[in-house]
Structure 1
């Protein structure tokens, strides 16, 4: 049975019921979570599933921005200096594909956001190798182990099995372990594109991944999934409101290909003038972006006088 499509307005209103987030801290924040039960996890995954299946106009921008945030968090845990803004530059104004020390992590999370992992499972050995597991035969062995993990009867148990599979052979590769848990969870859920649910739900600072992987039933990951879902749905709603504002100005724009530029803004985290060169001349693109910013329909994300980036 397929999920019904939601209108953009309905998609914006998706939220977690109060009883499902009762284990979050007393302020209702998403940065601290206590134990979560199966009913709570089922509820949050159902609401997140509705967001993914809604075909919301801003789904691409949402997934890409979450991927960027997850990559920034991961490279920071690895001691790298690149923040979200620096990674955005790698994607929007840098080489294609992105280059540099942070590129493997960034590329792995952008790959997750680009579609369902199942049909692209053959890409995993290359991505696993890029994330530090280059020993002969290990990328293929881990790819098979993750496929087996995805067959577990419970989504949290599947994610735990992915963590265990990586930590058993590469205990120091936290970035690989978290990404593996995310792709297995997304494959289990059957989503049309991936969200970094485990990575995004971790608290700030050092995290004991071995402790998270200790409970076979996924109990240790329950709070992480709850926290990640709440934070992702907050961003879904925020970007949904911004997307509605952008859609509302369509009839007011006269620039050639303005509608195609808007579609691309809804599909990506950020765009440069060069990023729409195939749609509209550069000078016209600058005028269009300036107009969209003046109308409050998009934001300039860098604060720079040149090499500017625009997005929801």
Structure 2
């Protein structure tokens, strides 16, 4: 009996987009916006539950997007490329600067399971007791709980926008039964939204969650296909522990060759790591993210 032919990597289906009945639903009232954000969250959860999406990479890529929003709220205009440079091209132990610290906070918060201790490390200066109160927030819906946390933190410390948004997204994820923070709420809130209070803020948060889910879905689909293509080339790679290196790229938004070598000191030198990254670019499964010939960063 002839064996069935393997499905080509390129034939992987896209994740289903938000259905039209969700996107077309009105959001003028708080109840309507809550319905729409809840439907979007449910759809996102189902669409990413199949296992094809590299969730660690999705979290880190969304953390970059959230950090870009936070940098903009703070009046900075580095953009994604500048944020990556500030974090990844700073020597260990050196200060990555304001922009780099924002990205570091988001990446750290999304990298490990939600807990008071972990968030306290990512949010230096925020008391663990304050974080614990935030994580125990109560409200009728997960988005309402996140909005309550956002309002409480910003009322107490108006300039702590990044910490407030990280805690709000952590509460949202925890309320949805998630183990890890998945940046969603923070992707679409504007500086003017953070000055709102009460039902006005809740409405803005429901709208932002809907928009954030709309951003996360196509990104998750792109990363699922990219991950399949990357895993498919492993047999062609001569480097020892190639799968380990591939797994690192499937969990990080960006890596410098030197950082890849540090993660795998028994398998890759700096030079070998650079050649490995270049080979993956030649195979069309990795991107060089800076457009430079030196001080380069690579990612899926």
TM-score normalised by the chain length of structure 2: 0.83
The equivalent of 2:174 in structure 1 is 187
The equivalent of 1:298 in structure 2 is 286
Cα shift at 1:127:
4.3
The equivalent of 1:199 in structure 2 is 186
Whether 2:80 is the aligned partner of 1:92: answer no
Cα shift at 1:254:
2.2
Whether 2:161 is the aligned partner of 1:174: answer yes
- How does 1:59-138 map onto structure 2 within 5 Å? 59-96=55-92, 99-117=96-114, 120-125=115-120, 127-130=122-125
The equivalent of 1:262 in structure 2 is 246
Is the alpha carbon distance of 1:49 and 1:77 closer, same or farther for their aligned partners in structure 2, counting shifts above 3 Å? same
The whole-number CA distance in structure 1 between the counterparts of 2:155 and 2:60 is 30
1:272 to 240, 243, 256: 256
Cα shift at 1:103:
4.0
Is the alpha carbon distance of 1:110 and 1:144 closer, same or farther for their aligned partners in structure 2, counting shifts above 3 Å? same
The equivalent of 2:295 in structure 1 is 307
Between 289-298 and 49-58, the greater mean CA deviation after superposition = 49-58
Cα shift at 1:310:
1.0
The whole-number CA distance in structure 2 between the counterparts of 1:201 and 1:71 is 12
The whole-number CA distance in structure 1 between the counterparts of 2:43 and 2:13 is 10
- Does the aligned pair in 1 maintain the 2:33–2:206 contact within 8 Å? yes
Cα shift at 1:143:
2.1
Cα shift at 1:284:
2.6
Between 281-290 and 155-164, the greater mean CA deviation after superposition = 281-290
The whole-number CA distance in structure 1 between the counterparts of 2:16 and 2:293 is 37
Is the alpha carbon distance of 1:14 and 1:96 closer, same or farther for their aligned partners in structure 2, counting shifts above 3 Å? farther
The equivalent of 2:139 in structure 1 is 152
Whether 2:194 is the aligned partner of 1:209: answer yes
TM-score normalised by the chain length of structure 1: 0.80
Specify the SS of the correspondent of 2:208: helix
Task: List per-residue Cα deviations over 1:166-224 (Å, max 9, x = no partner).
Answer: 12212233333222211111121121321121111225xx423232x421893332111
- Does the aligned pair in 2 maintain the 1:201–1:229 contact within 8 Å? no
- Does the aligned pair in 1 maintain the 2:254–2:299 contact within 8 Å? yes
- How does 1:240-259 map onto structure 2 within 5 Å? 240-259=224-243
The equivalent of 2:148 in structure 1 is 161
Is the alpha carbon distance of 1:271 and 1:140 closer, same or farther for their aligned partners in structure 2, counting shifts above 3 Å? closer
Unaligned runs of 5+ in 2: 1-8
The whole-number CA distance in structure 2 between the counterparts of 1:264 and 1:125 is 25
In the alignment of these two chains, the number of paired residues is: 284
The equivalent of 1:27 in structure 2 is none
Specify the SS of the correspondent of 1:267: coil
- Please give the root-mean-square deviation of Cα atoms over the aligned residues, in Å: 2.7
Cα shift at 1:295:
1.5
Cα shift at 1:74:
0.7
Specify the SS of the correspondent of 2:136: helix
